[in-house]
Each structure stands twice: as structure tokens, then as C-alpha cells.
Structure 1
Amino acid sequence: MSSALISPLLRYEDVCISFGAGRREKFAVSHLNLEIGVGERVALVGESGSGKTLTALAPLRLEPEGAKVTGRILWNANQSSASVDLVGLPMQDIRDIRGREIAMVFQEPMTALNPLFTVGNQIVEAVQVYQPLISKADSMSAAIELLKKTGIVQPEKRFHSYPHQLSGGQRQRAMIAMALACKPRLLIADEPTTALDVSLRLQILDLLKELQAESQGDGGMAILLITHDLNMVKHFAQRVAVLNQGNLMEVGSTKQIFEHPSDPYTKSLVNSKPVREIAPVMPLAPVLLKADQLSVSYPDAESSTWFQKQARNLVLRKVGFELKQGQTIGVIGESGSGKTTLGMAVLGLLGDSAARITGQVNVLGDDWQQLKPVERRMLRSSLQVIFQDPFGSLSPRMNVMQIVSEGLDIHFPGLSPTERESRVLDMLREVGIDRTALQRYPHEFSGGQRQRIAIARALILKPQILVLDEPTSALDVSIQKQVLALLAELQKKYNLAYLLISHDLAVIRAMSHEVMVLKEGRVVEFGDTETLISDPRQIYTKELFAAAELV
């Protein structure tokens, strides 16, 4: 679809978004000029701090407190008589546009959804905004129909569920249902699939396309997609706008941007793919971590009654593997396949929950289940974890010195303050963080820098095994490439063993010696990475890899 033939619906004219005043004024978005056409799918891409989310929030006047927006954001830009400038519009009029004409799907549905109300009631509220005279029964029926349309199984049942009772994919679908309740002419989707696995990403993108095709009105619903996932952009967008540090670098058709980018920044962004630079595993490398017939189950609250014993839901089913020194085993599978449960079981972090664990997990030859608490605590320095969200896993109340040295205080309490600081500085230097960071707090760093601090915190105890739980999924593609290169370099230097949990096939391919494919808690395939990816045998694995190639 040629942009010249599209009637503009939303137009940014010389839009600037800044914080502060006078000499301290900092521009997050500078002189942005961009159009979104009626019925068009436009992707706004760029790294963290590029101004993507601020650009998306500005039309709805949801920018953070203290932000100053100048320029014009024209709504109904194709109709001069009906065109309005959203920047200067009174808030009462903006509220009339929110949801009714412009709706938004936020990145994290667990944060955006109210935990105190059922999903159905929240959608009903949105339906009643669009149709204030509708009866309660009809609004409930409309909400259930929206849940059904977005692909949620048993919508009548899920109508009465609270957000925490739904999976990540279901919550995101519920958010989309709520956004579509008012039949908006523009849907702004801010990183709508970041926390989802590859098959769910593909489903959500296809769902948005289908709902756009079904939308009625002059030309159909337009979609502005905010993302840093370039594979997703290829699959979804008709036109791409590239932002870098608040500046619009270039705009063009998806094909043009990916095949013939003109700006150097866009070229570097398009070419930021993980590179496979792992060392081979030594033939006689010792086994550091071993799972044998490992099963994990939880009580099934929905099936329990007063008259029968509570049933249990098997999350992990007789999983077995051996992780050798210097080796990486990648674990891939859909949401609910048991990936995170496997990681938590290996780390010994399920013992105090309602989980029932059978089978064995051996760490450096010792069985986790048989160890006394004191013995397990001593062994923990050899087995560390790096979590998905570097901001959520770092305490906002502690500075970098306190965060990185916390493990030393527990496992090496005899160190003097000078020795402790020396070890922290050496470790920060290893991961590329300057000593000036010691007294700074997590919020003062970028996502990539926070993840480097998390890596330093884990490695300062000189572990032999690291569990990497989606270590780069929250990062931009170029930062992701840097962090993966760092992890590969550290593995070679210290002969580390990695259990890498990820839904990103590119990350698995770049980092793993072997791949374990999980489905409903079972291992359906296990083997050499290159062999398994190029020639998967199971239908489930083929579908999973095919979806990963598309998004």
C-alpha cells in the first residue's frame, strides 16, 4: 500500500517532547513529523530511550508528569473541517476521544489490568463507555463475544477470572478485547507481545490483522505498533518509522527499510542479529548439573471438592538432562510448557511452595533434595541465576556497590571493606561497567547496563553454573547482541555451564550447544542445536520453529 494513496488519520507536525526548563531542558522527542493513514499498519521502531513510547502516549495526553509537548498532533487529519489538535485540546475533550476513537494496548497487561476486578467486568466497563444506554445483560454478552473474538477458550468462564488467573497470552488478549470494545479508529499497541513466546506472538499479530480486516468504518481501523522486535515488524507492518534518541531517522515501506535502509543507524539496527561464537565442549568435561526423572506438580484448586482428594496438576513430567562444564543447554517451548518451573526446580526455589517435587536434581554431585539447609546454602554460590527483567530483579533501594557485594556479605563475611570493594570493581570491569557506577542506583542505568550489573552480581561468587531465565528478552536487539557476546566471552574465560531458558530461537541458536524442547512439561525433543533446528522431527517442534522464523 503506497503511503501517497493513504488518507492521513493522525499527523504529528513538528512535535517535541521535553523535560525540564531553560538550560536543563532535555528533549526526548525532537521535531517529529509522521503520518498514520486510515486503515494502515505503521511500526515505530527504535532502541530504549529513543522516544517510541512517549510518541505513542502523546496523542492521548498520557505523557509523564513534567513532560512538555509542543507542535501539533492532528486527529482526523484527512478532514480539515473535523481536524482537531490534540496537543491543545481540553482534557475533557481528550477523555471523550480516549477509548472511543483512539485506544491503547499497553506492554504489560498485568500492570494495566485492575487486579481487584474480573476481566469481564473491566471489558463491560469499556463497552458501556461506547454504548452508555446498553443494558447490563447485553454489555456482558458483548464482553463475552469480544473475549471469544480474541481467541480466548471458554470465554464465559474466563469472563469471571481475575487477571492473575490468566496466562500472559490470555491477559494480552483480554487487553485487546477491552481496547476494541469501543471500536476505535486507531489502535496504539505498545510492545504488545514482548513478554509472550513465539507462537503466542504470531497469534496476537494475526489476531490484530483479522480484527483490523473486520473493522467497519471509512477504511477500517489503523494500527500504530511500538516495538523493538524487528522480526515482528517484518510480519506485521506496512510502513516503518525509525527513531533514534528522539529523532526520526527515516520512514519507508517495510520492504524498503529492511532491504535498502538509507540511514546508518537503521542499517546497524537491521543487522543487529545474535552471532554464534561459542566454544566447543571438551570431550571429558565433567557433569555439573544433572536432572533425573524430575517431576513437579501443584494442587489443582478448580478440581478439588469437599468429597474427594484434591487433584494435582503436573507441570513438569520426568525431565532428564546432563549439563557439562563449559556447555549451554537451551530450553525452549510455549507458555505453560514448564520452562520456568524447570529453572526454579534446578535452583531449589520450589521447596517452600505448594509444589511437590519428585526425581532428582544433582548439583556438583550433591542431591538438592537430600541436602540440609546449611549445606544447600553453602552450595548456592556455585549455582546462580540471571532473571529476565534486570530492573525488577535489582533492588531500587540499593546502589551498585550494595547490589553486587550482597552475595559476598553472605558467603564471604570475613572480607575486609577494601577487599570487598576491590572484588566488586574487578567484576564490574569484567562486564563493562565503570567504577563511577558504584554509588548509583538501578534507575540511573539503561536496560543493557542493568543486565550487566545483574551478571556481575551473579558472577562475583565465582559460580560454575548459571541459570539464564530469558536474559535478553527485555532488551533492544543491539543491546541483546552485546549481552549475548558478553555471556559467551565469560563462558569461555571461566568455563561456565549455562541452562538458558528462552522463547527466542535466534538466542537459542547463538548460545546453545544442545536444545531441549518442552511441551506441557514433557521433553519432546533433545539434541545438538544445529541439527535439531535444521531438521526437527516432532510436529510441535517444527511449528514452534516455523513461528519463530516469522516473528
Structure 2
Amino acid sequence: MSKQNSALLRYENFSISFGSGRREKWAVSNLDLEVGIGERVALVGESGSGKTLTALAPLRLEPEGAKVSGRIWWGGKEEGAQPVDLLALPIEQIRKIRGREIAMVFQEPMTALNPLFTVGNQIAEAVQIYQPLISKAECESAAINLLKKTGIPEPDRRFHSYPHQLSGGQRQRAMIAMALACKPRLLIADEPTTALDVSLRMQILDLLKELQAEATGDGGMGILLITHDLNLVKHFANRVAVLNQGKMMEVGSTDQIFHHPDNSYTEMLVNSEPVREIAPVMPLAPVLLKTNALSVAYPSSESISWLKKAPPHKVLRKVSFELKQGQTIGVIGESGSGKTTLGMAVLGLLGDGNAQVSGEVEVLGEDWQDLKPAQRRAMRSSLQVIFQDPFGSLSPRMTVKQIIAEGLDVHFPKLTSAERESRILDIVREVGLERGVLERYPHEFSGGQRQRIAIARALILRPQILVLDEPTSALDVSIQKQVLALLSELQKKYNLAYLMISHDLAVIRAMSHELMVLKEGRVVEFGDTETLIKHPRQAYTKELFTAAELT
């Protein structure tokens, strides 16, 4: 078989650009890369380097207005078959390839899943496409089995859940289950473990390896992995390709890239570990945020009998802590452990009529639960949040400038135009963006760039307390390091208090003074971060740290 036929997927002189003439901007330039049959290739690089655009191109999912050139060879259905150029195929033929032959796991599951259908039905639909002759019951059974394989607890119950009823990690696992339903020959995974806790990341990787080995045809399923997680790459990929500003820096074996990189940019990426640079908390620092026996439950939709409903589902169980000025408390735990619910309860964002919240929350000495709506709104500038999903939290109809300035218009309406403009420009520079981004819209940016916009929106109000819900999950390692350094610097400068929720224990270790470990809504350990990491008492905590290789 010729070299052209030996690759399952091969990019040849691939380029993608936007605009025309002088304004034409090259997002990817003259890229050559191949994924072999049964091979695992990781594509890494900073936000905006062109990784996701490269991943979307084989399925012709590039953004509107993009100009694509070069060739992307697809190896054909059978060994010996002549490859076809995916860029030259009509869209009708591409649709037949999507899902059946080439499947994709998208970076942001909440925007990729249909909010009107249960996750089980969406997975069962994918199974039906692959096996049109099997019954509806068999499709549902296969979907439940896929949910179970990807590590979702109570898969029979979660089959009937809608996307908004799952945690971020559970939604990501449902996306992976859907992508694998058709047993594709190539899986393109764009940040497939971003929202997963560390203990589940290796499970997902092991699952992908297992399914890759099980795949029929010429040697197994190929995988093209797009990720910021270099630790994941080290344990998963056969080869690594490094992309920078749309250009390929180097391609090599995993061992070579991590231990003997040829390129200075690659060396910088490999060495971009978070650095612990936090200032100690002052002995008499005031308590800015306090909870006492904070609990959250949701009514169950299931029934024990036709007269009696099942008891409420408890998500958070009597969580108590004190957050002081200048302090960071890190919150870790598996997906569904209640981390994000804790953050939303503290922020007072669970008042949808369904959540049953009990216990006490004090913000700046005020009982947050008893405040009137107008009083709570007035205090919002002191208590801000950075959400996990930057695309879902930014209005697509507003420019970056409007998004960042919106809080100023609400909380600081007396600022002059010059003062307002100065604050906006200062905060944009602080989060590593350029002035030119201000007139653009969120869809024009990479995931990491959108997260920096979200951080700027929160920080511009100079809050006293910041709830950070996976603030760096969408950032590449080098930008992550910069953002964490920025958050540390701002904390020292303004004595900010952070409640940091994260799956990334390296980030938590670098940023937090104290560490809270949640499991099934309960606090299983709480104490000084370094002491707890070096001497964990609970088996659950030890498992988390072992998975993250922190002990």
C-alpha cells in the first residue's frame, strides 16, 4: 500500500483564512499532518493557534466565511481503497461520513447537545443511525450501556435527564457516548476531558483505548486529540503535533516531544506548570464569606408508587466554611459532587423555584438569603463569578466592549466616558488581550480567548469575593499560567477572596490556601492545602491525588 493509502486521515498543505485582500488573516498555514490507522495523535498549542479549526475541517464544519485550501485525504472504507479529498466532496457525501465514519466530541457539550431532548434519546438516535434495523428498545439499551461505559452513575436514571440536569463533566461524558455510538473509524476529540475530574480522565482515556482496540476494520479506530492537558497527552498519545499561530512547529513521538523537544516554543509549553505564588493570609483578616450547614436538594421526578413521589435528590449536604480577605479556598471532587452547586448557592443563583436551599450564607456580614432583591443587586459588584463555559456565559449579540462594560453601566453609572474607557482598556491588557478585540463578538474567538473576556468582565468591577468555577479549564497551559499569575497578583494587590472550583489539582495547589474535598455533596476533608496534599486522611482524597500524580 502506498504512503498515501497508509494514513487514515492526512492533511496536505492545508490552510484556512478569513477575509480578503489586505484584511485576509491566516488561521492555519500550510499544515501537513497525518493520523494512521489505530494511531493516537495529539494536536497541542496555545488558544488561537488553529487547533479547533484544523479539527473541524475534515467534517466541513469550519465557520461561515472561512476560506479553506489544500487537501484532506480520507483513507476510504476498506484497506486498499483509494483515499478521497474531503475538501472536494459535495456536502451531501460529507453528511454520510459525519458520525458514521468520522465522529467528533466537541469542546462545549452544553452548546452541542439539544436542550429539548433527553441525553439518552440523543445517544439512542445516534445508535439508530448506525444500526437502522434494531428496535427502539435495543437502541435505548445500547445508549444506557454507553452511558455506563463512560462512567456516568445511575445510567438508567440519567438516560431520562436533560442536558441542563447534568453536571459539566456528565454532559461531556454523554457527548463521548454519543460520538462512539456509531463505532467510527476516526474519532476527533476536541478537549474531551476538559470538564472531567482527574479520577475520570484516565477512565475515559482507558475507555477510548479499549474501544479503539475493539474497532473492526483495518487495525482499529484512529484518534485525533485536541487538548490543553499535556499530562493527558503524555499518557495517551503515540505522536504529538505542536501548533503555534497556525504553523506547525514540530511533530514527533510523545517521548521526544516531552523529553527532547527541538523547538523552543515546544519547550516553553512543556515547562508551563502552574507556579505557587500566593501571599499568606493576614492573621486578623476579616471573614468576607461564610456558610453554615448549607444544603441544596431538588425534587425528584420519579415516583415510588402512584401515590408517593421519591424523596428530593440531595446535591449539597450541610457544608460549612469561612472565607477570609486575601484567602483562596480550593474546592475539588468528582463530577456531580456538588462543587458548582456550592458556588451557585453562595452566589444566590439557585432561586429557580425548584432548588430547595437551606442553611446560612453570609456575604460581607450580611445574611444573603434575607436580603431584598434591590439590596442583593447593590452587593453584586462585591461578589462576582467566572463561569465554567465561557461561550454560554457571553452574549453572542454584544461586542466584547459591551460585555465588559455592562457591569460598569449597572454598578458605576457615574463614571465619566474617559474613566469608563480607561478601566476597559486597563482590564483588557491585564488579561492578555489587545485593544482590537473590543469591537469583535464572542464567536470570533477561541475558547481560551472567550474565557479571558469572561475574566475581564468579572474583574473590572474590582470585587472583594470572586467565585471561580473552572476558570482555566478552557485555557492552554501557557495562558493558564499567565491567568493564574494575574489572579494571584490581583489578590495581593486588592486583598481579594477566591472560592476556586476546579478539576485541575495542579491549579488548586498553586492557588489555594485551604482545600475542601467534596464527595456526593459532603465535605470529606478540609484543611491547609499543602498539608492535606502531603498527608491525605481519606481513601477518596488519596485516589484523587494519585490520579493527578500530586503525591
* TM-score computed with the length of structure 1 as normaliser: 0.89
Task: After superposing the two structures, state which structure 1 stretch, 16-25 or 226-235, moved more.
Answer: 16-25
SS of the residue corresponding to residue 392 of structure 2 reads coil
Distance 1:150 1:366, change over 3 A: closer
Alignment of 1:18 onto 2:17: yes
For 2:42, give the aligned amino acid: A
For 1:342, give the aligned amino acid: L
How big is the shift at 1:226?
Answer: 1.5
Quick one: distance in 2 between partners of 1:486 and 1:145?
Answer: 44
Quick one: distance in 1 between partners of 2:36 and 2:499?
Answer: 45
Distance 1:255 1:471, change over 3 A: same
Q: Unmatched 5+ residue regions in structure 1?
A: none
Check conservation: 2:111, 2:392, Cα contact below 8 A.
no
Check conservation: 1:330, 1:502, Cα contact below 8 A.
yes
Quick one: distance in 1 between partners of 2:107 and 2:44?
Answer: 14
Alignment of 1:275 onto 2:275: yes
Distance 1:156 1:338, change over 3 A: closer
How big is the shift at 1:142?
Answer: 4.5
How big is the shift at 1:138?
Answer: 4.8
Distance 1:322 1:96, change over 3 A: closer
For 1:307, give the aligned amino acid: L
Alignment of 1:90-489 (within 5 A): 90-136=90-136, 138-153=138-153, 155-303=155-303, 307-308=307-308, 311-425=311-425, 427-428=427-428, 431=431, 439-443=439-443, 450-489=450-489
How big is the shift at 1:335?
Answer: 1.4
Quick one: distance in 2 between partners of 1:450 and 1:161?
Answer: 28
RMSD of aligned C-alpha atoms?
3.0
How big is the shift at 1:375?
Answer: 3.2
Quick one: distance in 2 between partners of 1:446 and 1:175?
Answer: 20
Distance 1:502 1:36, change over 3 A: same
Quick one: distance in 2 between partners of 1:423 and 1:107?
Answer: 32
Task: After superposing the two structures, state which structure 1 stretch, 185-194 or 125-134, moved more.
Answer: 125-134
Quick one: distance in 2 between partners of 1:425 and 1:20?
Answer: 26
How big is the shift at 1:423?
Answer: 4.5
Distance 1:386 1:65, change over 3 A: closer
Distance 1:132 1:420, change over 3 A: closer
Distance 1:356 1:438, change over 3 A: same
Alignment of 1:46-85 (within 5 A): 46-76=45-75, 81-85=81-85
Quick one: distance in 2 between partners of 1:248 and 1:434?
Answer: 24
Quick one: distance in 1 between partners of 2:497 and 2:15?
Answer: 48
How big is the shift at 1:435?
Answer: 5.7
Quick one: distance in 1 between partners of 2:446 and 2:55?
Answer: 20
Tell me what 2:34 maps to.
Answer: 35
Q: Unmatched 5+ residue regions in structure 2?
A: none
Task: After superposing the two structures, state which structure 1 stretch, 256-265 or 137-146, moved more.
Answer: 137-146
Tell me what 1:506 maps to.
Answer: 506
Quick one: distance in 2 between partners of 1:445 and 1:56?
Answer: 16
Distance 1:523 1:157, change over 3 A: closer
How big is the shift at 1:147?
Answer: 4.3
Quick one: distance in 2 between partners of 1:9 and 1:458?
Answer: 45
Tell me what 2:531 maps to.
Answer: 531
Quick one: distance in 2 between partners of 1:186 and 1:438?
Answer: 38
Task: After superposing the two structures, state which structure 1 stretch, 107-116 or 322-331, moved more.
Answer: 107-116
Alignment of 1:546 onto 2:527: no
Quick one: distance in 1 between partners of 2:395 and 2:140?
Answer: 42
SS of the residue corresponding to residue 370 of structure 1 reads coil
Quick one: distance in 2 between partners of 1:398 and 1:63?
Answer: 22
How big is the shift at 1:146?
Answer: 4.2
Quick one: distance in 1 between partners of 2:485 and 2:83?
Answer: 50
How big is the shift at 1:473?
Answer: 1.0
For 2:339, give the aligned amino acid: K
SS of the residue corresponding to residue 63 of structure 1 reads coil
Aligned length: 546
For 2:298, give the aligned amino acid: Y
Q: CA offsets per residue over residues 18-43 of structure 1, 9 Å max, x none?
A: 33444444332222222211111111
Distance 1:458 1:53, change over 3 A: closer
Check conservation: 2:301, 2:309, Cα contact below 8 A.
no
Check conservation: 1:169, 1:200, Cα contact below 8 A.
no
Distance 1:414 1:165, change over 3 A: closer
Quick one: distance in 1 between partners of 2:141 and 2:108?
Answer: 26
For 1:99, give the aligned amino acid: G
SS of the residue corresponding to residue 301 of structure 1 reads coil
How big is the shift at 1:330?
Answer: 0.8
Quick one: distance in 2 between partners of 1:63 and 1:414?
Answer: 43
Check conservation: 2:74, 2:85, Cα contact below 8 A.
yes
Check conservation: 2:332, 2:503, Cα contact below 8 A.
yes
Check conservation: 1:401, 1:421, Cα contact below 8 A.
no
Task: After superposing the two structures, state which structure 1 stretch, 126-135 or 494-503, moved more.
Answer: 126-135
Distance 1:408 1:338, change over 3 A: same
Identical-residue share of aligned pairs (%): 80
Check conservation: 2:35, 2:222, Cα contact below 8 A.
yes
Distance 1:178 1:314, change over 3 A: closer
Tell me what 1:87 maps to.
Answer: 87
For 1:27, give the aligned amino acid: W
Quick one: distance in 1 between partners of 2:53 and 2:400?
Answer: 28
Quick one: distance in 1 between partners of 2:446 and 2:109?
Answer: 23
